[in-house]
Chain A
C-alpha cells in the first residue's frame, strides 16, 4: 500500500478503536480487549510498512493538509517519518500490542474494562502522533494528549485515593515541565516564524537564530523533556505513578511515554548540537539522575518502585548520551530498554497475579514456585545490568564509550552507577526469587486494589496462582527481543547507526571499558547477594529487621526530595494560598457573583418583558425604531 496511507493508518486504527470503545464500550465488555489489541496490531502492521518504506527511500511524508492560516503563520497537519520516527513507531506499536494482550489476562475481572482499553487506545494514538509530528505545534498537541492519557491510566482505579493522588501528581509535575515546552513553542513562533522542524534547523544552521536564543530554546525544550522523562528534579512523579495497573506501568512508564522526552531531544538534536551550553546541562543532569536514582532504588521495598527508579536511572543514561552528542547511542539504549524494562514490569505483574503482592519483604523463594517468571526476571535483570551478550550490554557500552570519548566528567558518574544498578537489581531478584518464602502474601485490601484485581481471599502462604498464557506469550516475545536486540549494533556491524543515517563515528572507547564495566556489574551482583540475600537470611534467623539504619532511610525516601517538595513547595504554596483565598473570596468571588447576577438579572428582566402579548411585541419593536431614529436625528 502507498506509504502515505500507511502513515495515516498508523494513527487511524487506534483512533477507530478509541471511538468504538467510547461509544460501544458498555456493550462490548470483555471483547473490549480484543478490539483494542486488534487495532494496535493493525497499527503495528502499518508501522512496519512505513518502516520498510523509510528503509528504502529514507523518509516518508504525507501531503500537508492546510489547517490554519493566520497572516504569516501557516500551520499544516502532516505526518512524517524519518528513520528515527519509523523505528519509534514500530517499537511503540510492538510494546503497546504486547501490553494490550497482556492486559487481557491481567485485568480480567476488573470493572470498567472497556474504559481501560479506551484509554490505552488513546495513549497509543497520542504517542504515535507525537512521534510522527513534523512540526512543534502538532507535537505539542500530541504531547499534551499523552499526558492526559497517562493521567487517566494512572488514576484508573478511581476508588483508591492513592491512585488519584498519584495521577494528579504526575499530571502536575509533568505540566510544570510542559510549561517549558510551551514557552519554547512561543519562542519558535516569534523567532523562526514557523513550527516545522526543518525550518527550525535551517534557522539554526544559517544563523538567523542567535546562539543565545538557540541555547534558551534548547533549555526550555529540555525542561519539557525532563518533566516527561523523569529527570532530576522532576522525577518525583514516576515512582508514585506505579499506583496504576502494571501493564500501564510497562507501557507508559517504562517503554514509551517516558521515552518521549528522550525522543524529543533526539528529534531536536541539531538544536542541542548547536548549543554547547545546553548539551552540557543535559549531559550533567542525565548523569546525575542516573546515579541518584540508582542510589534510591537500592532502598526500595516495593518491586515496582525499584523498577520505577531504575527507569529514571536508565533515562538518565539516555539523556547523558544525547548531551555528549550521540543520538544513536541514546536511541539504541531507548530501544533495548523498552524491551527489557517492559519485560521486567510485565514479569512483576505476573508475580502479582500469582501471589498478590509487590512487597519484596513478603516474597522469597519464587524461583521454585514460578521458574518461568524467574527466568524472565533473570534475563531482564542481566540485560539491564549490562551483561554480555544481552541487548542491554551493547547499548550501555555504546553510551559509556561515547561518554568517555567526549571527555565528559559525567562518565565517572555513569561508571559508578553500573555497580549500583547491579546492586539494586540483584537485591530485588534475590529478595524475591531466592531464599525461603517470607510472610503471607498480603490480602489485597489497599495496594493495587479492588478495581484492578480480583484476588481470591484466603490464599495459603505457599500457593501461587498460575499465570495465564495470554500473559506468558508477551513475556516470551519480549524475552527473545531482550536477547537479540543488541546484535543490531555491534562495533563490527553498526546496522543501527547506519539505519539512522548517523555516522558510527568509529567510536571505540578505551579497551578496558567493556571489561571494567562488566566486572563492576558482576561485583555489584556479588555484593547484592552477600549483603542482602545472606543478610536477610541472617536477619530472619536473628529476628532483626535490616531496614532501619540511617543511610537506609535516606535511600528509602529518595533522599527526602519528595518530602522537600511537599514541605517546601507545599508550605510556601499554602501560605500563598491563604493570602489568595482572602482575595478570592472577597474580591474575585464577589466580582463573579456580581457579573453573574447582572447577566441573569438582565435576562430575567427581558424575559418578563416577553409576556406573550403580540401587541407588546410590536410596540417594543416600534419603540426601538423610534429611539434609534431619535438618536440619529439628535446626533447629526
Chain B
C-alpha cells in the first residue's frame, strides 16, 4: 500500500497544492489578525500564492502526466491553469479597490473563497474522472455562490447570490442526471475510457440515452459558461455582485467551464458516430450545439441593446461571447481547441479590462448607468482611448485581439461548411455594434457633467491597462500566440 501511494506522481498536484496551502494560510492569518485591522496585508500573500502556483505550472510543462487516471496534466490543462491564475490575479487587483464596507470587513474570507474557487477551477480543467469533475465543479460553484453575496447590506448582492444558488442547483442536478446515464451505460467514470466504450457498436440501440446524457451534461455546463439555456441568472448576478467577483465569474468561472467542455468534447463526444456530421437530418448533438451557439449570440446581443446599466450590458455581452465560443464546438473543425483557447485569451483581456473601467467610472460618478460615461474623452482622453480599444476588441473590429479571435472562429465555421452558423455569428456581431457604439458615443460625443480628470485607483488602473495592452498585443501578435498555443498541445 505505501508503495502504491509513493508511486503516484504527486508532483502533478503541486500547483493545486500551493493554491490550497495558501488558501489555508490566508484563512489562518485572517483568524489571527484582530477584526478591526485592515486586511490589506493579505494581498501580497495572495499574490505570492498565485505567482508560485504559476511558476509550478510553467515548470510542469516538461513533465505532463496522469494521476491515477483521474487527474490529467497535459499541455491544454496547463495552459488553461495559467490563464485561470492570471485571471484570478487580475481579479485580486480589482478586489483591492472594492469599497463596500461589508466586503471590506470580510475581505480575508473573500480572498479565501477566491482561492478555493480557483482551486476548484484548476482541478476542473485537469479532471479526467466524472466524480472528480463533479466535485471540482461544485467546489467552484459553492465558493462563487458565497462570493456573490458578499455585499451583505446590499439587496442586489444577496438577491444575486440566491438566484445564483438556485440556478446552480438546477444545473448541478442536470449535470448529475446526464452524467449518470453515461456512467451507467459504460460502467466507468474515467472520461477517456467512457469515450472509448461509447463507440462500442453494442451500445448503438441506446443511442437515445447517450444523447440524453450528452445533452444534459452540456446544458449543465452552459450554466458555468453563461449561455443558452442556463443564461438568465447572468445579468442579475453580474449586476448585484461586487465587481471583482463579477470579473471572477465572467472569466475564471467561464473559462473553467469551457475547458471542461473542451475536454468532454475531445474525450467523449467527438467519438460519437453522428457527431459533427448530423446523420440524415436528425437533430443530433451537432445541431444542438449550433442552436445553443446561435441563440446565445443573438439573444445576448439583442437584449443588450436595451440595457441602460453598464454592468448588465456587459453581462449580456458575455452571454453573447459564450455563444461565439460555442461555435467551434458546433463546427468541430480540427483547429477547434486553438480557436477556443485563443478566444479565451482575448476574452480575458477585454472583459476584465471592461469591468475594471466600468467600476472606476461608476465609483467616480456614483452610478452604473451608461450616462456616467458621458464626456469621458474630455475628462481623461487616455482612458477614453483605452476604452475605445477594449470596446473595439469586444465588438471584434480589427486590429484587436477580439477581432482575430472571432475571425479565427469564423474561418473554422466556414471551413466546415456551417454557413448558417457563420451567418449567425456575423449578424450577431453586427447587432453588437449597436450597443458598443452607444457606449462609445457617450464617451466621445456627449458632454459630461464634469471636466475633472478621472482618477484611476491603482488596482482597477492596473487591470484596465493590462486589458487594453493585452487587446492590442493580441491583435498585433495573433500569429505567434496561436503558434504558442499549438505547441502547448
Contact = CB atoms under 8 A, between A and B. Distances in A.
B229 A636 contact: no
Interface string A601-636: 011101100101010111011101100110111111
A23 B377 CA distance: 10
Contact of A636 (B167, B283, B298, B434): B283
Interface in B286-319: 288, 291, 298-299, 301-306
B44 interface: no
Nearest to B383: A23
Given A617-B167, A632-B284, A23 B216 contact: no
B382 A23 contact: yes
A635 B434 CA distance: 37
B283 A617 contact: no
B274 to A, nearest CB: 9
A456 interface: no
B305 A603 contact: yes
B306 A618 contact: no
B233 A635 contact: no
Contacts of B219: 621, 624-625
Contacts of A159: none
A24 B431 CA distance: 34
Interface residues of A, number: 35
Nearest to B476: A67
Interface in B383-419: 385
Contacts, number: 94
B182 to A, nearest CB: 16
B113 interface: no
A617 B174 CA distance: 15
A477 interface: no
B230 A621 contact: yes
A66 interface: yes
Nearest to B434: A599
A175 to B, nearest CB: 21
A584 interface: no
Interface in B199-227: 207-208, 211-212, 215-216, 219
B196 interface: no
B167 A599 contact: no
Contacts of B283: 628, 631-632, 634-636
A22 interface: yes
Contacts of A636: 207-208, 279, 282-284
B163 interface: yes
Contact of A618 (B170, B207, B215): B170
B335 interface: no
B282 A621 contact: no
Nearest to B288: A628
B149 interface: no
Interface in A199-225: none
A634 B282 CA distance: 9
A397 to B, nearest CB: 47
B479 interface: yes
A622 B216 CA distance: 10
Most buried by A among B167, B229, B299: B229
A612 B236 contact: yes
A603 B232 contact: no
Nearest to B174: A625
A538 interface: no
A625 B229 contact: yes
Most buried by B among A25, A604, A625: A625
A140 to B, nearest CB: 15
B381 A23 contact: yes
B464 to A, nearest CB: 15
A22 B385 CA distance: 9
Interface string B166-198: 110010001000000000000000000000000
Nearest to A66: B479
B478 to A, nearest CB: 8
B211 A632 contact: yes
A600 B385 contact: no
Contact of B306 (A604, A612, A625): A604
A111 to B, nearest CB: 16
A26 interface: yes
A601 B165 CA distance: 31
Contact of A620 (B163, B207, B229): B229
Contact of A600 (B170, B207, B216, B305): B305
A603 B211 CA distance: 31
A570 B479 CA distance: 47
Interface string A581-601: 000000000000000000110
A506 interface: no
A22 to B, nearest CB: 7
Most buried by A among B215, B230, B301: B230
A57 interface: no
Interface in B39-59: none
B2 interface: no
A66 B483 CA distance: 12
B235 interface: yes
Contact of A607 (B229, B291, B303): B303
B357 interface: no
Interface string B226-247: 0011101101100000000000
Given A610-B232, A617-B232, A620-B232, A629 B215 contact: yes
A629 B170 contact: no
Nearest to A611: B232
Contacts of B302: 599-600, 602-603, 606
Contact of A67 (B208, B288, B479): B479
A624 B281 CA distance: 20
Contacts of A625: 174, 215-216, 219, 229
Contacts of A26: 381
Contacts of A604: 306
Contacts of B216: 625
B211 A618 contact: no
Contacts of B207: 636
Contacts of A617: 163, 167, 232-233
Contact of B167 (A600, A618, A629): A618
Contacts of B163: 614, 617
B233 A633 contact: no
Contacts of A620: 229, 232
Interface in B241-261: none
A631 B167 CA distance: 24
B223 to A, nearest CB: 8
B162 interface: yes
A69 interface: yes
A410 B385 CA distance: 53
Contacts of A634: 283
A113 to B, nearest CB: 16
Nearest to A636: B282
Most buried by B among A23, A603, A607, A614: A603
B412 to A, nearest CB: 14
Contacts of B434: 599
Contacts of B382: 23-24
Given A621-B170, A625-B216, A22 B381 contact: yes
A614 B385 CA distance: 39
A624 B229 contact: yes
Given A602-B302, A618-B170, 8 more contacts: A614-B166, A614-B233, A621-B230, A624-B219, A628-B291, A629-B215, A632-B215, A636-B283
The 9 A-B residue pairs whose C-beta atoms are closest, nearest first, are A603-B302, A624-B229, A617-B232, A636-B282, A621-B229, A631-B283, A635-B283, A614-B163, A23-B382
19 contacts: A22-B381, A24-B381, A599-B305, A603-B301, A603-B303, A606-B299, A610-B232, A610-B235, A621-B232, A625-B174, A625-B216, A625-B219, A628-B283, A628-B291, A629-B212, A629-B215, A633-B208, A635-B281, A636-B283
Interface of B: 162-163, 166-167, 170, 174, 207-208, 211-212, 215-216, 219, 228-230, 232-233, 235-236, 279, 281-284, 288, 291, 298-299, 301-306, 381-382, 385, 431, 434, 479
